[in-house]
Amino acid sequence: MPDGGPRLDIKIGSNGYAWWYLDGLSDDGRHGITIIALIGSVFSPYYAWAREKGPVPAENHCAMNVALYGRPGSRWAMTERGASALDRGPTHLKIGPSSLRWENGTAIVDVNEIAVPFPRRIRGTIRITPIVLNDRDFTLHSNGQHHWGPIAPCARIEVEMTHPDLTWAGSGYMDSNRGSAPLEDDFQGWDWSRAELPNGDAVVYYDLTQRDQTRCTIAHRFFAKGGSAAIDAPPRIRLPNINWQVARITRSDASSRVKLLKTLEDTPFYARSAIQMGLEGEVATGVHESLNLDRFNQRWVQVLLPFRMPRRAN
């Protein structure tokens, strides 16, 4: 958009996807949140099964994934909906009863979802206010079909929930991914992490393994005063596997600086964690994810997923 914000009405082709991702960690270290607004829900078994029969409109498979971490208040929801539940324009995106909008330089999410597996309401408003906006786009695959845009790598987040009753603020982050083909067609998986340095700068590492075994690494520092620069990626350091035995690998300038603070998501093909690591001689806290698309491709995993990802018509 002219003000540097994200366009929420980008065109998405059949079998493609776009998502807008937000996360935050509270200043006191007690709470965390992730929100992903998905069109062409890349981890949906329903979308994967539908594609087996031919091209599928991405809009037929959309979801607002919401995860709250910390006690009290941990809840998780990802209800998939059809095209009739989707409404969007340049600055707004509505999926069922939840929405994301860009307003006066701030991303605002109004959440109204039902948690699974235990039905409990998740309701509230989340605001991501960028400290700096980034307009650089990164290509993730050599075929040019997958892209990543770190919209607000340096940001503040404010969380005001009514269900559960919870209010906090902390460091925030927002990005977007888009592609014209299913992730599992072109990638075996990836490890990704973002962290905030003591001076407010943000560092992001993206380690991707393509389906043909080609590896790609993006290492970038985003300055709180504006601008960004590629940096040398420090050594890869292995974190303990999650219970589902998905491997986790991060980067740090010294193994002694790496600390697994908490495993936030432990699933058959995906892990999300809060970690501490050494970045360019400083200690930083951030969010880490590991994705195993070979595991996602397995039928037994996809059969399990509807228990966590119900589907509704609207």
Residue 310 gets which letter from DSSP? -
Nearest to residue 131, comparing CAs of 227, 231, 218, 2?
227
Nearest to residue 122, comparing CAs of 70, 66, 168?
66
pLDDT at 26 over 80: yes
| Residue range 34-47, pLDDT digits in tens | 999 999 999 999 99
pLDDT of residue 270: 96
Every domain of the chain and the residues it spans: 17-307
pLDDT of residue 182: 96
What pTM was estimated for this model as a whole?
Answer: 0.96
Residue 254 has which token pair?
């010294």
Average confidence (pLDDT) over 179-208: 95
**Which residues sit opposite 192 in a β-bridge?**
206, 289
What secondary structure does DSSP assign to 239-286, as a single string?
EPP-TT---EEEE-S-GGG-EEEEEEEE-SSEEEEEEEEEETTEEEEE
Pairing type for strands 166-179 and 187-196 reads: unpaired
pLDDT of residue 236: 92
Rounded Cα–Cα distance for residues 20 and 37 (Å)? 5
Average confidence (pLDDT) over 190-218: 94
Instruction: Give the mean pLDDT of the chain.
Output: 94
Residue 229 has which token pair?
């620069």
What secondary structure does DSSP assign to 108-164, as a single string?
EEEEEEE-SSS--EEEEEEEEEEEE-----EE-STTS-EEEEEEEEEEEEEEEEEET
pLDDT of residue 279: 85
Q: What angle do CA 60, 64, 70 make, to 5 degrees?
A: 155
pLDDT at 2 over 80: no
| Residue range 107-139, pLDDT digits in tens | 999 999 999 999 999 999 999 999 989 988 999
Kindly state which CATH superfamily the domain 17-307 is placed in: AttH-like domain (2.40.370.10)
pLDDT of residue 203: 94
**Which residues sit opposite 204 in a β-bridge?**
194, 220
pLDDT of residue 269: 96
Instruction: Measure CA 306 to chain center.
Output: 20
| Residue range 259-300, pLDDT digits in tens | 999 999 999 999 999 999 888 788 899 999 999 999 999 999
For the chain, percent of residues with pLDDT exceeding 90? 87
With beta carbons less than 8 A apart as the criterion, state whether 187 and 201 touch: no
| Residue range 291-300, pLDDT digits in tens | 999 999 999 9
| Residue range 220-273, pLDDT digits in tens | 999 999 999 999 999 999 999 988 989 999 999 877 788 999 999 999 999 999
| Residue range 66-84, pLDDT digits in tens | 999 998 889 999 999 999 9
pLDDT of residue 274: 94
pLDDT of residue 3: 78
